[in-house]
A = this chain, B = another copy of it.
Amino acid sequence: MTATGRGEPSPRLQQSDTVPAMLPERAPRRPTMRDVAALAGVSLSTVSRVVSGSQQVDPELAVKVDKAVEMLGYRHNSAAGNLRRADRLSASIGLVFEDVSNPFFSAVHRGIEDVARTRSVLTFAGSSDENPQRERELAEAFLGRRVDGLVIVPASADHSYLARDVAAGMALVFVDRPPRFIDADAVVSDNAGGARAAVAHLADAGHRRIAFLGDRPDIFTAAERLRGYREALAQHGGEHDDALVHHPAFRAADVDTTVRELLAGADPPTALFTGQNLITLAALQTLHELGLQHTVALVGFDDIPLAALLQPGVTVVAQDPYALGKHAAELLFSRLDGYRGPSRREVLPTTLIARGSGEISPSAR
């Protein structure tokens, strides 16, 4: 669902019929505090006090200042203020996701935003596309703007490049996956446990040949889910067969090929465990195209919209991405509030939701 390269319709272009007033060649200078002070007939300091609400000011002067602010359309420059302020806080944080447009991460985003908003903190957000270089560029660009903290879904294998920023007081939290080569707070889902539950569920329905389709195993969540898959197979007597383990690199397209090859093979799996939301969507598409949705069992990791309305309903192990974001933000702000203890790792539970596709028996084949 990385949206790049999508075909776009050619737009109908129409001029607005409102004719704008003659524009000056150069934009006018924005009014500064100095302009406000001059108009209000007070000192710069007084304007600063009124605008920031930090100190007691004679109400009469305050009114003058407010009027001048109003008249000039003065807009405070918090970037400038931040430079001299004692706390040095920019009231902004940076978020590095894999892809802001993946519904999983956009829900995490909203969880973070809702917490940040209660503290009037703004969020920068960007997509790494699972590219370590891009993750670092984004994080460093945010740091160049002196964000107070960073929430990262790690793509990079080494986060030591952030050590000095943390030492300088930047709050750092990892979400969805833990950090590497740096000690920091993290919030993750119980990936291995969720995968075990998914595979145990399939084993309970009688499956022995269960395929795994997941992200590259160098991604923490994928590795954990693979581990859970293997542990559950071992515990429930499922078959360990490397031919059943796949890491379709380019998701949608590769998933389709992989599923078709698996099912056309000599000793096909009777069930699929799809280890990520986009992989689940693609695998479902293929199963339906093959007309095998009632024959081959499937459990997906991550819940997806309309899962309950498909025939059969899609059994999933659901994460709670909103909660992941909320908890991450809370850890972040606890650091900013002065917490100096050891780093924390929160593991959020997953929930198996049985809807039909995971309860298909192997004999359906």
* A interface, CB within 8 angstroms of B: 2-4, 6, 8-9, 11-16, 18-20, 23, 27-30, 73, 75-80, 82-83, 90, 92, 99-103, 106-107, 109-111, 113-114, 117, 120, 122-127, 140-146, 164-165, 167-169, 183, 187, 190, 281, 284-285, 288, 293, 304-311, 320, 322-323, 326-327, 340, 342-349, 351
Contacts and interface: CB of A to CB of B under 8 A. Distances in A.
A110 B100 contact: yes
Contacts of A305: 281, 304-306
B344 A16 contact: yes
Given A75-B143, A146-B79, A167-B28, A124 B92 contact: yes
A101 to B, nearest CB: 4
A125 B101 CA distance: 13
Given A80-B83, A122-B124, A183 B304 contact: no
Given A27-B167, A342-B19, A145 B103 contact: no
Contacts of A20: 183, 342-343
A31 to B, nearest CB: 9
Contacts of A142: 122
B164 A73 contact: yes
A350 to B, nearest CB: 8
